[in-house]
Structure 1
Amino acid sequence: MINLTAVQRPGAVEPDQRRFRARVEAEAYVASVCFKHGPPRLLGVELEWTVHHHDDPRRRLDRHHLATALGPHAPPTLAAGSPHLPLPSGSPLTVEPGGQVEISSLPSPSLGSLVDSVTTDTEHLTTLLAEAGLVLGPSGLDRHRSPRRVLDTPRYAAMERAFARVGDAGITMMCATAGLQVCLDAGERADAATRFAAVTALGPVFVALFGNSPAPGWHSARTNAVQAVDPCRSTPLPITDDPAADWARRVLDTPLLFVRRDSDDWSAPPGVTFADWIAGALPDPPTRDDLDYHLTSMFPPVRPHGYLEVRYLDAQHGTDWVVPVALLTALMADPATVDRVVELCAPVADRWAPAARLGLADAATRAVAHRVVELGLPAVAGLDLPPPAAQAVATALTRLADRTALPGRQQ
């Protein structure tokens, strides 16, 4: 997880044990920590991939094999006692429940330097896996294996039990999907609501443009799985004038997914929300640390996390991740462009399901996508990408502009 708002210090951070006695305290806390204001300066990405055996992508992944491949970079959830060293450019490496690997970049003031550092770390990770006969998956969905947990932790066991009540979407999301996340500063207080609206409204357009998890009937099966898990924690936050207050209410009204205990059973009482916990549904009032942990169980398409964590992109093949990241960065770089994005995307801001199912075959989303790409192309030229990357991004976006153009408008 990227921290765009503070410099991370080595070593464990002492948990905040101050307790909440009233809902209003917790809502104020969520609004203050999830929307931190200031000039938009920093950018980060999180790249996630499924992992497969090179000789047979259908073979099950063994946790010990994966831990050996990752060596000193393996997280403790995979290999107890691991030093969990960062990758060469400083990115921490984590492993998701189904054995997916994830690189979380350090925050960067420059897209060019971000691309350089992530490329270095990705190449290092690819080499480590290759030496163990493993490869990174090329899409946002594991189409070769049914979902099954590789990690055995109380957190993920509790999640699997809770999600089992609503069908297969939960275990699919946990163990068979991979995403590309982009982290952007929330911006100055006066601009935060508009920036949040723009990033959120772009969701269906980006799902249609960059969906990369095909399955029967779906352009982005990953989007479908995530949003089908649990609406209160996974559906988009409405676009309003006060997203911080809306988010705080959503968080407090969402049922607990787990409750940390000394035992291995972290199951939460079904239906008990964090607000219920404050009101006395569990023996002791919750702490700030408990609320911080509850926040990690929320996964809407755009998650306020002190910064804006954009979660609606599927994992991309190879270096293709630079294209959507560059487009999003360019669109959010200038307040005038941000305002225009909100205006352009308003007609399709709620078309998540059609975009996920049909992609650019959804005519309404395709028309807006064309205008968004046209808006972003000149802005991308102003980014500090290295010349080869800049040319590759410009070429890819030009092709998308042609592909999304209405008949008679194609070059």
Structure 2
Amino acid sequence: MDPRELRPVVAQLFARGRRRTVRVAIEQEYVVAAADGGVVPIGEVRRAAAGSLAAPYLSFEPGGQVELSLPPSLEPARDLRVLTADLRRRLGGITLRPIPVDPRLEVPLQLTLPRYVAMQQHFDRIGPAGRRMMRRTASTQLCLDWWPGRAGLEQWRVLNLAGPFLAARFNRSDRLATWLAVDPARTAFDDRLLRDDDAVASYTAFAAGASAFVDGAAGHLSTLFPPVRPRGTYLEVRFLDALPPEAIERAIAVLQELMYDDVRRREALRELPCDEGLWRAAADGVLEQELAA
């Protein structure tokens, strides 16, 4: 896609907020299973969830995974626990599991909108990882307020630099390895987003290098899956496995310190290396071993 068409839309993604707010929002995905372990149709889950506290925040991933996208909060982990508990009561025998990879090998594509069919066809040209990612993986995505000025540029950089180390610390599956195999041109699990001091230019080049299978610049940008996604007024951390509640609280604490503590953020920027091989080391478990040594 033409970079000239992409750049103004990318610039909007990097607009950043106007105030130094310190909120966090959680997008939590769950693997869904029937009492007998079978696949549950999305419609059945939606009907069972009707009237729950979580219903306004409920959506689905292509394989039927449930996603709860909660609004920003000062106590996001508490909010998630309350809504998840109420949703589980409503679902009865349908289970929600905060696990990063569905152990079932055969999970159908439940969302068959043209976007998802085109995405699957694109990934199939590369290998089997795309189907596995779409249908069988789940994550905890954390969204953090993005500040104006120099601090905001530091926040973007520190999350990308710290990502491999945080994945090595919190992730306990091969989900990250799946993401690395999906389509490197549209996932950017390397250092390509940090090679230029102009973040908009780097992201535009990244977007232009990914093949387009939906129409329009905004649509194309929505099919990119970097480890940290710019969302205008907030940053979306996408590299974490689906985590249990206690691990979510620890991850939020670490990310808040990196994002909202000026001194700690700048210390981290001085200390963290920029190395395109770190994501692979995290996926292979090598980085975890080094951190433990």
Structure 2 vs 1, CA of residues 65 and 145 (structure 1 numbering), >3 Å: closer, same or farther? Answer: farther
Q: 1:34-113 alignment to 2 at 5 Å?
A: 34-41=14-21, 42-54=23-35, 56-57=36-37, 59-71=38-50, 87=54, 92-108=57-73, 110=74, 112=75
Out of 135, 156, 162, the residue aligned to residue 175 of structure 1 is: 135
Please report how far the alpha carbon of residue 246 of structure 1 lies from its aligned counterpart in structure 2 after TM superposition.
0.8
Supply the distance in 2 between the matched residues of 1:230 and 1:346 (Cα, whole angstroms).
24
Please report how far the alpha carbon of residue 179 of structure 1 lies from its aligned counterpart in structure 2 after TM superposition.
0.6
Structure 2 unaligned spans of 5+: none
Structure 2 vs 1, CA of residues 25 and 62 (structure 1 numbering), >3 Å: closer, same or farther? Answer: closer
Out of 229, 242, 254, the residue aligned to residue 210 of structure 2 is: 254
Please report how far the alpha carbon of residue 171 of structure 1 lies from its aligned counterpart in structure 2 after TM superposition.
0.5
Supply the distance in 1 between the matched residues of 2:47 and 2:81 (Cα, whole angstroms).
22
Q: 1:4-403 alignment to 2 at 5 Å?
A: 23-24=3-4, 26-41=6-21, 42-54=23-35, 56-57=36-37, 59-71=38-50, 87=54, 92-108=57-73, 110=74, 112=75, 114-129=76-91, 131=92, 133-213=93-173, 221-236=174-189, 237-239=192-194, 240-259=196-215, 290-306=216-232, 307-346=234-273, 350-358=277-285, 361-363=288-290, 366=291
Q: Secondary structure at the match of 1:226?
A: helix
Supply the distance in 2 between the matched residues of 1:323 and 1:302 (Cα, whole angstroms).
18
Q: Which amino acid aligns with 1:63?
A: I
Q: Secondary structure at the match of 1:47?
A: strand
Supply the distance in 2 between the matched residues of 1:102 and 1:319 (Cα, whole angstroms).
18
- 1:172-204 deviations in whole A, cap 9, x for unaligned? 110000011111223222222221111011111
Where does structure 1 differ by over 6 angstroms across 4 or more consecutive aligned residues? none
Aligned residues of 1:61 and 1:150 also touching (Cα < 8 A): no
- Identity, in percent, stands at 30
Calculate the aligned-residue CA RMSD, in Å: 2.4
Q: Which amino acid aligns with 2:71?
A: L
- 1:71-104 deviations in whole A, cap 9, x for unaligned? 357xxxxxxxxxxxx727xx51110000100111
Please report how far the alpha carbon of residue 163 of structure 1 lies from its aligned counterpart in structure 2 after TM superposition.
0.9
- 1:195-214 deviations in whole A, cap 9, x for unaligned? 1111011111111111132x
Please report how far the alpha carbon of residue 143 of structure 1 lies from its aligned counterpart in structure 2 after TM superposition.
1.4
Deviates more, 1:25-34 or 1:223-232: 25-34
Q: Which amino acid aligns with 2:167?
A: V
Q: Which amino acid aligns with 1:317?
A: P
Supply the distance in 2 between the matched residues of 1:170 and 1:342 (Cα, whole angstroms).
33
Q: Secondary structure at the match of 1:31?
A: helix
Aligned residues of 2:169 and 2:288 also touching (Cα < 8 A): no
Q: Which amino acid aligns with 1:60?
A: V
Aligned length: 288
Higher RCO, Cα 8 Å, sep 6+: 2
Q: Which amino acid aligns with 1:49?
A: Y
Q: Secondary structure at the match of 1:107?
A: coil
Structure 2 vs 1, CA of residues 192 and 124 (structure 1 numbering), >3 Å: closer, same or farther? Answer: same
Supply the distance in 1 between the matched residues of 2:249 and 2:179 (Cα, whole angstroms).
23
Supply the distance in 1 between the matched residues of 2:221 and 2:274 (Cα, whole angstroms).
30
